[in-house]
């Protein structure tokens, strides 16, 4: 409800709906103050101030008020607008100066019996300061705005004709502006806290991923390189005993075993070193990173590794990162468990979804027996589900294995 103006000798007539601002801002220098949203909100506040200034200056002429109002109102509005220009430009200054620059001109106009659109500057002030000011600034803005309205009521009473409904409307709208600013300020703080918690949660997720990767590499070292080195030591000891006994044939056999084991260990180490390097996703994309990975797999085991798909395909960074880890785990399973001679990795897009498929011709397994913990399937499934996708595993004893991940592109 727009307030009517209390009748009096110099009162302006006709209600004007107050453009109460709901802009959200923070003090200059804060991250939000430099954001695009803050700039957008300041532009809208500037527009509200400009429209209100125009209406306030025109009112004395339209309402045929006394001549001294024609001069006093533009002067008062000039002071108010100048203060708003400084504030909305993001200049660092005490916001109590803004409060004074808006309240004092209204006190001056009220003391001369001018009641009109100028009061709407008080509504903008209360809402804005409640959003961006400190505790003392917010209290000063609300108390002084109510004080101006109280002064106006006293002056109007002295003139002998009081419109109680109009003054009540002014009071209610000021309090509404204050409560709106209070709610939005608390909402902004809650949003900031949620963003902080989300950032902390994402960091914990990254830390957990790093820990899981370290543990996996530790297991790889233990299961492959460490075991190979232990085997080399056993063969070397056996070869030494054979040579000590003058038996060259057993010594030669053990040396051959040492050579084969060392070659295998070198392949294991090359693959582990490849995994320790950052995945080349940023430079080469998922397709390029997968091809580099497949070349490392071939160098390690002699397994025939093929890539099928669009080499220029790029996905969102999170999707590429998670799908690469899924492919990495699937290929590790092929090397450790499948006893395969050939593996194919396919990358494609279908109906706005990206699909990654790793298929081998190995011994296969029974998914129902391995789904809970074996082969890292729960971890792969969790990665895919984080992207909003699905993971399917097709396998049977003697029939090879096919791992298929499908995620939104």
Spell out the alpha helix ranges (H) of 63-119: 67-88, 95-111
The CA distance from 264 to 260, in Å, is: 6
> Is the pTM above the cut of 0.75?
no
**88: which 2 tokens?**
């909305």
User: pLDDT digit string (tens) for 295-304?
Assistant: 877 766 778 8
Q: For the chain, which residues score pLDDT lower than 50?
A: 1-32, 371-373
> How many helices and strands in the chain, by DSSP H and E?
12, 5
CATH code for the structural domain at 285-409: 3.30.565.10
User: pLDDT digit string (tens) for 240-299?
Assistant: 888 888 888 888 888 888 888 887 777 677 666 656 655 567 778 888 888 888 887 776
Residue 161 is predicted with a pLDDT of 67
Q: Give the residue carrying structure tokens 């080499």.
A: 311
* 3-class SS shares of the chain: helix, strand, coil, % to 5: 70, 10, 20
Which of 245, 240, 239, 270 is CA-nearest to residue 257? 239
Residue 6 is predicted with a pLDDT of 42
SS3 of residue 304 by DSSP: strand
Q: Locate the domains of the chain by residue range.
A: 32-200, 285-409
φ and ψ at residue 247, rounded to 5 degrees: -100, 100
């Amino acid at each position: 409800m727009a307030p009517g103006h209390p009748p009096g000798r110099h009162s302006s007539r006709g209600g004007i709906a107050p453009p109460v601002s709901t802009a959200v801002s923070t003090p200059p220098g804060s991250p939000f103050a430099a954001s695009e949203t803050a700039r957008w909100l300041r532009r809208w506040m500037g527009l509200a101030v400009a429209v209100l200034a125009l209406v306030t200056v025109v009112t004395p002429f339209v309402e045929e008020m006394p001549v001294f109002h024609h001069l006093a109102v533009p002067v008062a509005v000039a002071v108010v607008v100048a203060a708003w220009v400084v504030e909305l430009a993001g200049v660092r200054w005490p916001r109590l100066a803004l409060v004074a620059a808006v309240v004092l001109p209204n006190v001056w106009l009220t003391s001369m019996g001018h009641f009109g659109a100028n009061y709407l500057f008080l509504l903008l002030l209360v809402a804005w300061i409640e959003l961006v000011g400190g505790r003392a600034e917010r209290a000063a803005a609300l108390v002084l705005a109510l004080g101006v309205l109280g002064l106006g009521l006293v002056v109007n009473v002295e003139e002998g004709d009081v419109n109680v409904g109009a003054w009540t409307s002014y009071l209610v709208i000021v309090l509404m502006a204050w409560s709106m600013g209070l709610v939005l300020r608390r909402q902004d703080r809650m949003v900031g806290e949620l963003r902080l918690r989300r950032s902390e949660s994402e960091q914990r997720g990254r830390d957990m991923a790093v820990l899981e990767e370290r543990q996996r590499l530790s297991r790889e070292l233990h299961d492959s390189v460490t075991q190979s080195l232990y085997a080399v030591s056993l063969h070397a000891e056996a070869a030494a005993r054979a040579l000590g006994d003058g038996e060259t044939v057993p010594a030669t056999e053990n040396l051959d075993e040492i050579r084969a084991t060392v070659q295998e260990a070198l392949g294991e180490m090359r693959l582990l070193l490849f995994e320790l390097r950052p995945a080349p996703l940023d430079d080469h994309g998922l397709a390029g990173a997968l091809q580099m990975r497949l070349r490392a797999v071939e160098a390690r085991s002699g397994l025939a590794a093929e890539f099928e798909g669009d080499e220029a395909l790029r996905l969102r960074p999170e999707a590429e990162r998670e799908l690469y880890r899924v492919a990495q785990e699937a290929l590790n399973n092929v090397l450790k468990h499948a006893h395969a001679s050939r593996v194919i990795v396919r990358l494609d897009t279908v109906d706005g979804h990206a699909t990654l498929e790793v298929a081998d011709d190995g011994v296969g397994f029974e998914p129902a027996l391995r789904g809970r913990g074996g082969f890292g399937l729960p971890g792969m499934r969790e990665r895919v589900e984080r992207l909003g996708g699905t993971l399917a595993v097709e396998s049977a004893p003697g029939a090879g294995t096919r791992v298929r991940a499908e995620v939104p592109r």
